[in-house]
Structure 1
Amino acid sequence: MPRGNFFMNDQCTWIELKMENGVTRMSGSSRAEFGHSVLDEDGLECGVSGGWTWNDHSLVIESDLHGYLPLYVHHTPDRLLVSDSPLPILSRLERRDLDPIALGFFCRAGFLIGDRTLFKDIQRIPAGARLTWTAGTLETELTPWKKTESPKSIKEAIDGWSDRFRVAMKRRLPVGDRFDLPLSGGRDSRMMLLELHGLGHAPRRVLSLGSSDSGASSDTSIASHLAHRLGLTFQEVLEHDVDWLSAERQRHVACGFEALEHVWLMPLWNELLQGGAFWYDGLGVGSLTRNSVASPEMAKLLRDGQFSDWASGLFALTAATSPRWLAPILERTPFCIADDQSVLSDLQAEFSRHRDAPNPITSFTFENWGRRSIALNPLAICRSQSRVELPFMDRDLVSWARSIPIEMMHENDIQTDACHRLYPEFSSLPFDDGSPPKKAKASLWLRYRRHRRKCSFFKNHARYFGTLPFEALSDSTDKSGSHRALVLMFHLASVDSLMSDR
């Protein structure tokens, strides 16, 4: 029986197999499917789908080609546990141990790398994996992604990317089904909307997070302008009346405690899930075509052998808090967390797998930041919606994007150029800067009530942090760092409660 129900998510699916006196006993779901299967013109999989099947003799588990579906496994000679979240597995283990190195990287970056989880005895299932369990024996087959020859010129890179994007969209047409489309002021959603519009498909509604009254250059204002220009129904999604603790708790559980970011998007995901229709999502493209971690300055650090400085630059671009807050938080946390050198060594080992790629930095971020954090938006937080179309995750488009040399990425903004070439009549419409929408200021009473709730949480559940949470709550000199410090302390306090069944 599972131990404790702290932060459990009843939307998660699991299966457990136990060998007892030569007999296999199964509990949970004998069959599970995740993601959305998309077949190419030859009937081969090019989407993001996976799952498992138990036939009373063998269990076959398959992950998607890129490993973006959150699938987890615990294996001993006489027992196997599989789930789409680490939490159902953890609740069924008699012994629970944290992974200090995974925790160390997580505290510095806000996500995980490789196939580690926060828990020693639970692993993420690798990309392109087929696991077969029979009578206590687990066999693993890995299918590497098919590499594509790199383009010889910028024109070839942009043309190849544009052509494959259009093919990816045609493979994912709504075919009469109603659908929604979340639209920002950025490139991803704009390209999907304009391509669908050109093919004669209109969304039931276009949604954007925030208010168009926040300025002509705001994310929502740009999205509203485009939607109205196309004659589409536009809906603003405002911040829900949910306090910070409740929103963070909901996100943490949905993500299996594996990411510190995304909470500001929760109102949008809740609105889409309640709407009942499927939608299109731009997952995958950011880490491959417009990647701040792969800037010329960051690339030079790697060329010069300054990996530690590159790692510091990576951490500064993530959801991690500032060094001012990190050190005292780690000192007060009631469990072992790896030091800087151990974390750096593990990061180097993971990065070494990507050094021979045409663009090693984007290869690393796609397989780690994208896979272990950003993908949790449509594939974990929104797991109750079985169909979310992910055209930028198309097998052929991803393979082409990964083949583009880093030097070409520095010379041109591939996605922006492709967008302007494909839709020249909209090239004068600006893009937003990618920052989260500004929230409307809450009333003084609401702010006071939320402040008191935060103070109460840390006083009752995280006394070991001492005065740190209250210093962060009152800090006005480093608002971003102090807020992220609060999120990290909330996360660590929640993990502590999770491990001790409190």
Structure 2
Amino acid sequence: MKPVFLQLSWGPDGVTAEGDHTYYHGNAIEQADGTRNGVYSEWSWDGDTLKVGTCRYGMSPLFYYCGDTEIFVSNSIPKLLELGAPNAWDDDAMAVFIRRQTFLGEDTPFKHIRATPPGARLTWKDGHMTLEGKAFAPKPQHLKRSAMIDGVIDLFAQAIARRLPQTDEFYLPLTGGKDSRHILLELNRQSALPKACVTASFPPPLTNQDREIAAQLAARVGVPHITLPPPPPGIADEQRKNIMTNFCTVEHGWAVPLVDFLKANTQASFDGLGLDVFFNTIWYSEHRARLYEESAFETLATDLLGDSEAAFSVIFTSETNRRFCRSRAIARLVKELKIHANCPHPVAAAQFWSRTRRTTSTFTFGMQNSIPTVHTPFLDLDLFDFVYGLPKSSLRESSMHVDVISNAYKNFSDIGYFVRKEHQTIDKKYLRKLSLDLVRNNSRHVTKPTVLNRKKTNYSLLKSFVTGDKLDLDWLQPNLLACLLQIEGHNHRLPRQ
């Protein structure tokens, strides 16, 4: 990802500007009624007024720091830090992040650096900033299930038709799941197949049944299938990913080889981002839905945050545990949960505006930022609004997305879906290399302040290195450790602290 920035400073002699005066990134489609359909972010500086905007989802956020007489805007948090934005931790945001592995709202790791909100309209002039933008509520849908399925089929076909590539020289990432399969089968129906499908491989101990199913799908539609190797052992790819995702997720490290392939070989691609949390909510349960209905927000937040406190007593210093404490996380999460209480499917809505928007999308619009066009048909205005308004009772009745695909593409219904296996093959080489890399990184900058308890963390990492035991390492949340160590290492190298 190429960092792009604009730095404005206001003083007695007017405004001085450094960086790019205009910026645009995304896949917006201009519609006949003047609306813009798709995901995008942009800014413009005309010498008098700065205007920053994002699409209604805010899926491709920009980041900004606004001081008394200056404002920095960029697609890169590391770039803002290099420009001199304050690097103090946001304690409330970090309290949630270490427990939920996602940021909420416009939070980032840093108190003074913010992400632009959904539908952002930021204006800065003569040292004064105004900002509008927030998550939008759906229009409830009251339909029979058959009408819902037909509606999704028709609206998805329309979404793909609006985004048909002008060439077949593009590659399509394909998994054994539902979203990329739906994209491939609709492209096939509209005679717009890719040059090839490409599937990433997970590192051990994760299984790769994905590759087998993807190969079957590609063969059935008649396009080549490419399988990529897993990332190498260690944290090198994890560190590259952290920069591309602006330190905002501990996920997606496995996808670095896929991103490298797409960057080198294609100008356009498709991504299934958007509706999986409504079709198949990852953390949905009847218990959580009932807590939402009863407005038991603190109980719901407590449930969602899980219990990693024992590990934190080892990983963090006592001061860090006080600052990033569980009570802060509960209070911040409660505030976010209340925003979505009146949605037809509040559990899924809360997940969409937090996890999907701030974590899942970092792969699509952070790691793939160098690809000129990444189409996201599930975020098409008409399709998204239709599904967003469906009641949870209909979406949870059975697997809505499987039913949609089976009804729309009957000749492919014999090809199964990926199901993660409980039994996994442990590769101690991967585990030990990861443990050793973390020890080495944790032992740097030993004279600098840190949120980590270096002694206890290194002891536990060395134990996992000796045993090669996956549970010993997983308990320490190695990807979170890698992210925190990298943030601190980055800050230690900056001239201004």
**With structure 2 as the length reference, what TM-score do the two structures score?**
0.89
Report the alpha carbon displacement of residue 302 of structure 1 after superposing the two structures with TM: 3.3
CA 327–409 in structure 1, closer or farther in 2 if over 3 Å, else same: farther
Q: Distance in 2 between matches of 1:163 and 1:467?
A: 57
2:313: which partner in 1?
Answer: 327
Number of residue-to-residue matches in the alignment: 484
Among 292, 299, 302, which residue is 2:292 paired with? 302
Report the alpha carbon displacement of residue 333 of structure 1 after superposing the two structures with TM: 7.2
Among 158, 182, 206, which residue is 1:191 paired with? 182
1:303-358 deviation digits (Å, cap 9, x = unpaired): 45554553354345xxxx94442332234676863211121011001110100010
1:344: which partner in 2?
Answer: 330
Among 240, 245, 267, which residue is 2:257 paired with? 267
Moved more, 361-370 or 160-169: 160-169
2:301 aligned counterpart, secondary structure: helix
- Contact persistence 1:281–1:388 (CA under 8 A): yes
Among 414, 417, 437, which residue is 2:403 paired with? 417
Q: Distance in 2 between matches of 1:366 and 1:164?
A: 20
Q: Distance in 1 between matches of 2:479 and 2:325?
A: 20
Q: Does 1:284 align with 2:274?
A: yes
Among 12, 25, 42, which residue is 1:34 paired with? 25
Q: Distance in 2 between matches of 1:333 and 1:451?
A: 25
1:358 aligned counterpart, secondary structure: coil
- Contact persistence 2:364–2:374 (CA under 8 A): yes
1:492: which partner in 2?
Answer: 484
Q: Distance in 1 between matches of 2:472 and 2:257?
A: 21
1:108 aligned counterpart, secondary structure: helix
1:178-208 deviation digits (Å, cap 9, x = unpaired): 2111111111111110101111111011111
Q: Distance in 1 between matches of 2:293 and 2:406?
A: 32
Q: Which amino acid counterpart does residue 381 of structure 1 have in structure 2?
A: M
1:47: which partner in 2?
Answer: 38
CA 448–112 in structure 1, closer or farther in 2 if over 3 Å, else same: closer
CA 215–302 in structure 1, closer or farther in 2 if over 3 Å, else same: closer
Among 429, 444, 451, which residue is 2:415 paired with? 429
Report the alpha carbon displacement of residue 50 of structure 1 after superposing the two structures with TM: 1.8
Report the alpha carbon displacement of residue 398 of structure 1 after superposing the two structures with TM: 1.5
Q: Distance in 2 between matches of 1:248 and 1:238?
A: 15
- Contact persistence 1:289–1:413 (CA under 8 A): yes
1:293 aligned counterpart, secondary structure: coil
- Contact persistence 2:206–2:425 (CA under 8 A): no
1:357-394 deviation digits (Å, cap 9, x = unpaired): 10111111111100110000011111111210110111
Structure 2 unmatched ranges of 5 or more: 446-451
2:209: which partner in 1?
Answer: 218
CA 264–131 in structure 1, closer or farther in 2 if over 3 Å, else same: same
Moved more, 448-457 or 170-179: 448-457
1:352 aligned counterpart, secondary structure: helix
Among 429, 440, 443, which residue is 1:456 paired with? 440
Q: Distance in 2 between matches of 1:436 and 1:236?
A: 23
1:386: which partner in 2?
Answer: 372
Report the alpha carbon displacement of residue 215 of structure 1 after superposing the two structures with TM: 13
2:462: which partner in 1?
Answer: 470
Q: Does 1:80 align with 2:80?
A: no
Q: Distance in 1 between matches of 2:441 and 2:137?
A: 49
User: What is the root-mean-square deviation of aligned Cα atoms in Å?
Assistant: 2.9
Structure 1 unmatched ranges of 5 or more: 1-8
1:111 aligned counterpart, secondary structure: coil
CA 60–226 in structure 1, closer or farther in 2 if over 3 Å, else same: same
Report the alpha carbon displacement of residue 163 of structure 1 after superposing the two structures with TM: 1.9
Q: Which amino acid counterpart does residue 400 of structure 1 have in structure 2?
A: F
Q: Distance in 2 between matches of 1:215 and 1:257?
A: 23
Q: Distance in 2 between matches of 1:447 and 1:139?
A: 48
Report the alpha carbon displacement of residue 459 of structure 1 after superposing the two structures with TM: 3.1
Q: Does 1:66 align with 2:52?
A: no
Q: Distance in 2 between matches of 1:298 and 1:419?
A: 28
2:449: which partner in 1?
Answer: none
Q: Which amino acid counterpart does residue 230 of structure 2 have in structure 1?
A: E
2:493: which partner in 1?
Answer: 501
**With structure 1 as the length reference, what TM-score do the two structures score?**
0.88
CA 323–336 in structure 1, closer or farther in 2 if over 3 Å, else same: closer
- Contact persistence 1:218–1:437 (CA under 8 A): no
1:3: which partner in 2?
Answer: none
1:250: which partner in 2?
Answer: 240
Report the alpha carbon displacement of residue 22 of structure 1 after superposing the two structures with TM: 4.0
Q: Distance in 2 between matches of 1:160 and 1:480?
A: 48
1:74-223 matches, within 5 Å, as 74-93=65-84, 95-142=86-133, 145=136, 147-176=138-167, 178-210=169-201, 218-223=209-214
Q: Which amino acid counterpart does residue 114 of structure 1 have in structure 2?
A: G
Q: Percent identity?
A: 23
- Contact persistence 2:85–2:112 (CA under 8 A): no
